[in-house]
A = this chain, B = another copy of it.
Amino acid sequence: MRSAVTIRDVAREAGVHPGTVSRALNEETRALVNQETAARVLQVAEKLGYRANRIARGLKTSRSHTIGVLIPDITNPLFPPILRGIEDRLAHDGYTALIVNTDNDPKRERSHVEAMRARQVDGFISATARLDRELLDEIGAGQVPLVLVNRSVEDRSVSSVTVDDRRGIKLAVDHVVSLGHSRIGHVGGPQNLSTGHQRYLGFVEAMQAAGLQVTERNVAFAGYFTEEQGAAACAALLAADPEITAIVAANDLLALGCYDAVRERGVRCPDDVSIVGFNDMPFIGRLLPPLTSVRIPHREIGTAAADLLLGQLAEGDGSANEVLLAPALVIRESTAPPAR
């Protein structure tokens, strides 16, 4: 490797003081330098191939300009657009994301958080869905800026960007009610995850508002947000009440599992059973049949989360902010009036 070019080399070549070079190269202090001088310094720095040693600078300013981002699993189609929103917003301010997959496994989460703290990340954005406070303590909430995505904590001590889950489920329930359905089932998500729990509560609320009963017979819970678990819960639901004509699933993967369970039973969607998903994942409009789903603004969620975090870093205050984004129903071909 060639030996690194230093600020002194640039200063010598540009005929200015090293301090001037330092100020000219830093966007935040460039305005303090004569404009012509700054231009010359930048030109010389580029010519010599000067590259700021950001690790050394990190020691000085305690900023690594990296943000730790925790997600359950990047192969869940929900997350790529959220990550894209996060990364684009961070890149705009010169930050880069360190992304890790946790599989919602407390042990993996802990070791990743440890590793990222050791790398001196400036803050965390977490989309992992655990409801307990343990993770927050590990991250050191209050000391290190933290923003939660797609979840919030009860006491509102931490900044978060969430979608109005109850409102989203109400849109889904109201839609099938307006089509004429009254035997409506819920394939719910894991109840230890805030999204799963809020959507279940939203289902109960919306059904009651529509004058319909919720009993044990028309709710089945999935242990995970997966197609397999959705299929199992849907099969249980239809076994308990074969008269169900519409199913509101707590997310799209569960809804895809419902497609499988319904087909397995020889029942057609939407002719015999209408199915509604949640998240409006990419490509579900191309499914057989195209899935009616509750759309959430994925990229905006990411942008808003990065925005909150950068705000905390800039202001250095620990006050929590909450951003609640509105869902919308996208009606496709998996829902229709009941056959009878």
Residues of A at the B interface (CB closer than 8 Å) are 1, 51-56, 58-59, 64-66, 73-75, 77, 79-81, 83-84, 87-88, 91, 94, 96-101, 112, 114-120, 143, 256, 259, 281-284, 286-290
7 A-B interface contacts by CB (under 8 A): A66-B119, A74-B84, A87-B100, A91-B100, A256-B283, A283-B284, A286-B288
Taken together as a complex, chains A and B put the C-alpha atoms of A88 and B282 apart, in Å, by 24
Q: Given that A119-B66, A120-B54 are contacting pairs, would A286 and B87 also be in contact in the complex, using a CB cutoff of 8 Å?
A: no
Chain B residue, CB-CB nearest to A96: B98
Q: How far is the CB of A36 from chain B (nearest CB, A)?
A: 24
Q: Is the CB of A119 within 8 A of B288?
A: no
Chain B residue, CB-CB nearest to A286: B287
Most buried by B among A66, A83, A119: A119
Taken together as a complex, chains A and B put the C-alpha atoms of A88 and B111 apart, in Å, by 13
Most buried by B among A53, A75, A120, A289: A75
Taken together as a complex, chains A and B put the C-alpha atoms of A256 and B65 apart, in Å, by 39
Q: How far is the CB of A248 from chain B (nearest CB, A)?
A: 19
Q: Is the CB of A289 within 8 A of B286?
A: no
Q: Is the CB of A75 within 8 A of B80?
A: yes
**For A143, what are the chain B residues with a Cβ–Cβ distance below 8 Å?**
1
Q: Is the CB of A53 within 8 A of B120?
A: yes
Taken together as a complex, chains A and B put the C-alpha atoms of A88 and B256 apart, in Å, by 27
Q: How far is the CB of A48 from chain B (nearest CB, A)?
A: 14
Q: How far is the CB of A260 from chain B (nearest CB, A)?
A: 9
Q: Is the CB of A87 within 8 A of B99?
A: yes
**For A287, what are the chain B residues with a Cβ–Cβ distance below 8 Å?**
283, 286-288
Known: A51-B118, A77-B282, A96-B100. 9 other contacts (CB 8 A): A51-B114, A55-B58, A55-B120, A65-B119, A66-B66, A94-B115, A96-B98, A256-B283, A288-B289
Q: How far is the CB of A69 from chain B (nearest CB, A)?
A: 9
Q: Is the CB of B74 within 8 A of A77?
A: no
Taken together as a complex, chains A and B put the C-alpha atoms of A100 and B256 apart, in Å, by 31
Q: Is the CB of A55 within 8 A of B51?
A: no
**For A286, what are the chain B residues with a Cβ–Cβ distance below 8 Å?**
256, 259, 287-288
Q: Given that A52-B118, A54-B118 are contacting pairs, would A75 and B81 also be in contact in the complex, using a CB cutoff of 8 Å?
A: yes
Chain B residue, CB-CB nearest to A83: B74
Taken together as a complex, chains A and B put the C-alpha atoms of A91 and B101 apart, in Å, by 10
Taken together as a complex, chains A and B put the C-alpha atoms of A259 and B286 apart, in Å, by 10
Taken together as a complex, chains A and B put the C-alpha atoms of A58 and B101 apart, in Å, by 24
Q: Given that A98-B97, A99-B97, A282-B75 are contacting pairs, would A54 and B119 also be in contact in the complex, using a CB cutoff of 8 Å?
A: yes
Chain B residue, CB-CB nearest to A114: B51
Taken together as a complex, chains A and B put the C-alpha atoms of A101 and B82 apart, in Å, by 13
Of the candidates B55, B77, B91, B118, the one whose C-beta lies within 8 Å of that of A59 is B55
Q: Is the CB of A96 within 8 A of B116?
A: yes
**For A96, what are the chain B residues with a Cβ–Cβ distance below 8 Å?**
98, 100, 115-116, 119
Q: How far is the CB of A5 from chain B (nearest CB, A)?
A: 13
Q: Is the CB of B120 within 8 A of A101?
A: no
The 4 closest A-B pairs by CB, nearest first: A288-B288, A54-B118, A74-B80, A75-B80
Taken together as a complex, chains A and B put the C-alpha atoms of A55 and B115 apart, in Å, by 12
Q: How far is the CB of A66 from chain B (nearest CB, A)?
A: 7
